[in-house]
Amino acid sequence: MMKWVFGIMIILSVIFGISTGRMDKVSNAALEEGAKAIELFLYLLGGMCVWGGIMRIADKSGLTGKLSSLFKPIAKLIFKNLDFNGKAFKAISMNVAANLLGLGNAATPLGIEAMHELEKEDRTKDSASDNMIVFTVLNTASITLIPTTVASLRLKHGSLQPFDILPCVWITSLLSVGIGLILALVLNKIRRKK
């Protein structure tokens, strides 16, 4: 879908550039913004590598086990029939920890690993299990305590106080996770009854 949206935007830009006699500005903008996109990619990649490394160190040092034990009481409420000593729960805990630190990019591989492990634990195999659905909602809503990636982008673009968005981030992430989990749990119950 997005390829069509971007394709149409490019075609419209060229058409308007030709019709207004500003095709040189369109081509200059394309070249300049392409370079800026590569620069932004490298900037974010550096942060993602650092935090991804920190998450791996936390895993090797046993810190993730401690995080898992802190997350376990909440997880028992939302995940049903999950092995809380298994690899799936460990990957879920790591993913939640990365999201809490605002490291959505670093959380992605952990989320993929969690889904693979949940799939191994799933006995039905023909569709997503309730735990897979709940995890997808939890991961997508991503409750965030410290929006590291957003703050680094704000700092890069000249913000003097990149973390002044914290109250808004906390409110919106709590609401999105709360509403998402409630809907997922209710809809899973309805689905099971059918």
If pLDDT is split at 50, 70 and 90, which confidence band does 55 have? confident
Identify the pLDDT of residue 138.
Answer: 87
Looking at the domain assignment, is residue 41 inside a domain? no
Query: Does the pLDDT value for residue 148 go beyond 90?
Result: no
Query: Dihedral sign, CA of 91, 76, 83, 186?
Result: negative
Q: Percentages helix, strand, coil for the chain, rounded to the nearest 5?
A: 80, 0, 20
7 inside domain: no
* pLDDT bucket at 179, cuts 50 / 70 / 90: very high
Asked if residues 105 and 97 have their Cβ atoms less than 8 Å apart, the reply is no
Domain assignment of residue 5, yes or no: no
Residue 26 lies in a domain: no
Domain limits for position 161: 49-193
Instruction: Let me know if residue 59 belongs to a domain.
Output: yes
Residue 43 CB neighbour total at 10 angstroms: 13
Neighbours of 114 (CB within 10 A): 27
**Cβ contacts of 17 within 8 Å, gap of 6 or more:** 23, 25, 26, 27
Q: Structural domain tally of the chain?
A: 1
Kindly state whether residue 158 falls inside one of the protein's structural domains.
yes
Report the share of the chain in percent with pLDDT over 90.
5
pLDDT value of position 29: 85
Say whether pLDDT at 107 is over 80.
Answer: no
pLDDT attached to residue 171: 92
Coil/strand/helix, residue 128? coil
The secondary structure element, H or E, covering residue 98 is helix 87-100
Mean pLDDT, residues 12-21 taken together: 89
**C-alpha 164: how far from chain center:** 21
Neighbours of 14 (CB within 10 A): 14
Q: Is residue 8 part of a domain?
A: no
Residue 36 has φ and ψ, to the nearest 5°, of -65, -35
Instruction: Establish if 175 belongs to a structural domain.
Output: yes
